[in-house]
Amino acid sequence: MVDRDAGLPIARQCRLLKVTRSTVYYRPAPLPEDTLTVMRALDEIHLQYPFLGSRKLVIELAKRGLVVNRKRVQRLMGLMGIEAIYPKPRTTRPGFGAGHKVYPYLLGGVEIARADQVWVADVTYIPMRAGFAYLVAVMDAYSRRILSWRLSNTADARFCVEALNEALGKHGRPEIFNSDQGSTFTSLAFTGVLEANDVRISMDGKGRWIDNVFIERFWRSLKYEEVYLHGYDDLRQARSGIERYLRYYNHRRAHQSLENLTPEQVYHHPTADMLVPAIVHRSAQFSAPLSS
């Protein structure tokens, strides 16, 4: 958002955008190689066993020859934005401070039977050889089509807002937008865009990946079919590789749960003879098949 090549001084741009200059000039120190190795292993283990907590993750890491204490694992899980999936008491905690609001979950018992009825969004960790990045994607829940995405080396709300604005600009607006309760999605910058476009906002219970299961399955496909196979050196390579995969995913990758059609076919060219089943969200599970 701050343009270093503009004629306006950076200090003035920061005042107009209401951001501190320190965030513009700050350059995060690179993480040690052994820490990146542990984070990559944690990501792989969490994709395969999302129900494991920090204690069990310590054991799984040790099986890979990575001796890490639990405190370090917990810190890295927080940095990566992952947590174990299991029933928790009082899973919805209202309020994240000024500028953050948690909205109710609206998809219980709702039948999703058409494109642009419900969009979902999520953020995931992308490993690279010399660091890591965060990827946000906006997906149409019915067709599984990825409508927009952004890659960033920081986990602030700006890149999520950019992805949301692109999806709205290219595809119109959905009736309901569902996400988790992460700080990026509860921020006023993000929810304000949805409210301005008259979109109903829905948020999952904390730690309940099943509420956003289709985009979680997409992360699994993306990482095993693209990210882990190529081992990106930097953000440029990661962006290029993910863009290439998304063209394949949207336009060529057939989905069993879409009657072997592609997301592009179901989203843009629905016909009466397409027997794609409706998705019914329930309080704890989906009635539709979860294969992708």
Q: What pLDDT was estimated at residue 289?
A: 35
Q: What is the pLDDT of residue 119?
A: 96
Strand ranges in 114-210 using DSSP code E only, listed in sequence order: 118-128, 131-140, 146-152, 176-179, 200-203
Whole-angstrom Cα distance, residue 109 to residue 107?
6
Q: Answer for the pair 226, 233: CB distance below 8 angstroms, yes or no.
A: no
Q: d(Cα 180, Cα 87) in Å, to the nearest integer? A: 16
Rounded Cα gap, residues 67 and 47, in angstroms: 20
Residue 281 main-chain phi, psi, to 5 deg? -85, 130
Torsion of CA 138, 141, 146, 150, to 10 degrees: 10
Please report, as a single letter, which amino acid is at residue 32.
Answer: P
Phi and psi (nearest 5°) for 177?
-120, 120
49 to 44, 59, 62, 115, 239: CA distances (angstroms): 9, 13, 15, 31, 27
Helix (H, G, I), strand (E, B) or coil at 238: helix
Query: Which residues sit opposite 123 in a β-bridge?
Result: 136
User: In this structure, what token pair is assigned to residue 178?
Assistant: 């569902």
Fold of 111-280: Nucleotidyltransferase; domain 5 (3.30.420)
Global pTM value: 0.75
Per-residue pLDDT of the chain (292 residues; tens, 9 = 90+): 545 555 667 676 666 555 555 555 545 567 888 899 999 999 999 988 888 899 999 999 999 999 999 999 999 998 888 888 765 444 334 445 556 788 898 888 888 889 999 999 999 999 998 889 999 999 999 999 999 999 998 888 899 999 999 999 999 999 999 998 888 899 999 999 999 999 999 998 654 555 568 888 899 999 999 999 998 999 999 999 999 999 999 999 998 888 889 999 999 876 545 555 555 554 433 333 334 4
Tokens 């129900």 found at: 51
Distance CA 148, CA 164 (A): 7
